[in-house]
Amino acid sequence: MPQTLAELTTLRLGGPAARVIEATSTDVLVDVVRSADASGEPVLVVGGGSNLVVSDDGWDGLVVLVRSDGYEAVEVDDSVHVTVAAGHPWDAFVATTVEREWSGLAAMSGIPGLTGATPIQNVGAYGSEVSDVVVGLRVLDRGSGAVEDWSPDRCGFGFRTSAFKHTDRYVVLTVTFGLRRSPDAPPLRYLEVARRLGVEPGESAPSADVRKVVLELRRSKGMVLDAADHDTWSVGSFFVNPFVAPEQVPDGCPNFLVDGRIKLSAAWLIENAGFGKGFGLDRGRGSVALSTKHTLALTNRGTATTAELLDLARVIRDGVESRFGIRLRPEAHLVGVEL
């Protein structure tokens, strides 16, 4: 059984865990969290650990590992509804949908973590978001102890956010996706993916080809987990792409209109504030640095501490704000620490 949070996070950072329980089914997950809440014991629910930045002091309470698994599919005409346990590995599920020709998820290939975490952050990549295909969720409300079925409208989905993101009140138990029965992916929204596939944006391509290209792109940016590659010892994009007023857009900064608001490239802001790939700080016994492949990833080079990682994050955040007047905020979930 893991003894530290470092063993449970993709950053490989975090101090000791006082007590750890593996929840191997949805029923066990509900029972364990309810019981701990009733006793007053602090609870930290951990899935794949791919979005967690945990204090060097660790967690003085119960760590519940979400290890439920499996899915059930109901096919009707040209569509399929697939209900997936929260602990089912996300990319394995995406691969399954591609193999079975259930269309809708190929552009989100290679994203680490578990399926139950995907609606929390409304994960997305290359023009797709899970909110595009989520049709329902089963959720434990820790406030009332009730298990509830939620519609997408209740989830408050937005760019990399949801009603679940900034609270620990809810535990996602299962997610149901509505997918099309087709070998082709939905129309491609991301220019680079379309270009590599030899099609125009708005056109479609086989899901298997989309998955292959997306995995190649993610690997080139250090965004596919590889224990031997310290560029992947990260939480992926540490900072979220910021939304700004039109007058705040720096000259030359890539920007996109999303839900009527202007979104900027945080990676461009970081690089143009003077923090290039591989920029690092070495302090004390550890080392941290920006990925050598992608400036949005803050990485543990092998012996870092969480305190050192946050030192680097503050230097970058403050440098961007000084240069552009735009304050970046973390996309990662911080536990026991503040930025």
The verdict on 317 and 330 lying in the same domain is: yes
Catalytic residue among 160, 180, 196, 283: 160
Residue at 225 is within a domain: no
Pairing of strands 59-66, 79-85: unpaired
CB-based contacts of 72: which residues, under 8 Å, 6+ apart? 82, 83
Among residues 66, 85, 115, which one ends one of the domains?
A: 66
The verdict on 205 and 104 lying in the same domain is: yes
C-alpha to C-alpha distance for 66 and 21, rounded to whole angstroms: 9
Alpha helices in the chain (DSSP H): 26-39, 90-99, 118-121, 191-197, 207-220, 266-272, 306-324
Pairing of strands 128-129, 52-54: unpaired
| Dihedral sign (CA 166, 170, 174, 176) | negative
Q: What are phi and psi of 206, to 5 degrees?
A: -55, 135
Question: In a 10 Å sphere around its CB, with 0-12 CB exposed, 13-18 middle and 19+ buried, how is residue 43 labelled?
Answer: buried
| Alpha carbon separation from 236 to 93, 138, 233, 310 (Å, rounded) | 20, 27, 8, 15
The verdict on 125 and 60 lying in the same domain is: no
In the chain, the N- to C-terminal Cα span, in Å, equals: 30
Residue at 123 is within a domain: yes
Owning domain of residue 128 = 71-220
CB-based contacts of 77: which residues, under 8 Å, 6+ apart? 181
Residue at 38 is within a domain: yes
CATH number at residue 35: 3.30.43.10
The verdict on 125 and 248 lying in the same domain is: no
Among residues 190, 220, 250, which one ends one of the domains?
A: 220
Q: What is the DSSP letter of 336?
A: S
Map residue 99 onto helix, strand or coil.
helix
What would you report as the CA-atom Rg of the chain, rounded to the nearest whole angstrom? 20
The answer to whether the beta carbons of residues 126 and 214 sit under 8 Å apart is yes
The verdict on 80 and 207 lying in the same domain is: yes
Distance from the Cα of residue 154 to its chain's centroid = 20
Q: What was the pLDDT predicted at 160?
A: 85
Q: What was the pLDDT predicted at 281?
A: 59
The verdict on 103 and 212 lying in the same domain is: yes
Among residues 49, 66, 83, which one ends one of the domains?
A: 66
The verdict on 150 and 198 lying in the same domain is: yes
Map residue 155 onto helix, strand or coil.
helix
Residue at 91 is within a domain: yes
The verdict on 177 and 99 lying in the same domain is: yes
pTM, two decimal places:
0.91
Residue at 49 is within a domain: yes
The answer to whether the beta carbons of residues 180 and 78 sit under 8 Å apart is yes
Q: What are phi and psi of 68, to 5 degrees?
A: -65, 155
**Is 331 an active-site residue?**
yes
**Is 160 an active-site residue?**
yes
The verdict on 75 and 88 lying in the same domain is: yes
Total structural domains within the chain: 3
| Alpha carbon separation from 123 to 84, 241, 282, 310 (Å, rounded) | 16, 13, 31, 23
Residue at 15 is within a domain: yes
Could you tell me the two tokens for 119? 């609606």
Residue at 319 is within a domain: yes
The verdict on 118 and 37 lying in the same domain is: no
C-alpha to C-alpha distance for 194 and 178, rounded to whole angstroms: 24
The verdict on 105 and 60 lying in the same domain is: no
Catalytic residue among 237, 287, 291, 308: 237
pLDDT by 10s per residue, the chain, length 339:
678 999 999 999 999 999 999 999 999 999 999 999 999 999 999 999 999 999 999 999 999 999 999 999 999 889 999 999 999 999 999 999 999 999 999 999 999 999 999 999 999 999 899 999 999 999 999 999 999 999 999 999 998 899 999 899 999 999 999 999 999 999 999 999 999 999 999 999 999 999 999 999 999 999 988 999 999 999 999 999 999 999 999 999 999 888 788 999 999 999 999 999 999 855 444 589 999 999 999 999 998 999 999 999 999 999 999 999 999 999 999 999 999
Q: Please give the torsion angle defined by the CA atoms of residues 164, 165, 166 and 168, in that order, rounded to the nearest 10 degrees.
A: 50
C-alpha to C-alpha distance for 123 and 79, rounded to whole angstroms: 22
Catalytic residue among 12, 67, 317, 331: 331
Q: What was the pLDDT predicted at 237?
A: 93
The verdict on 86 and 131 lying in the same domain is: yes
Could you tell me the two tokens for 264? 């900027």
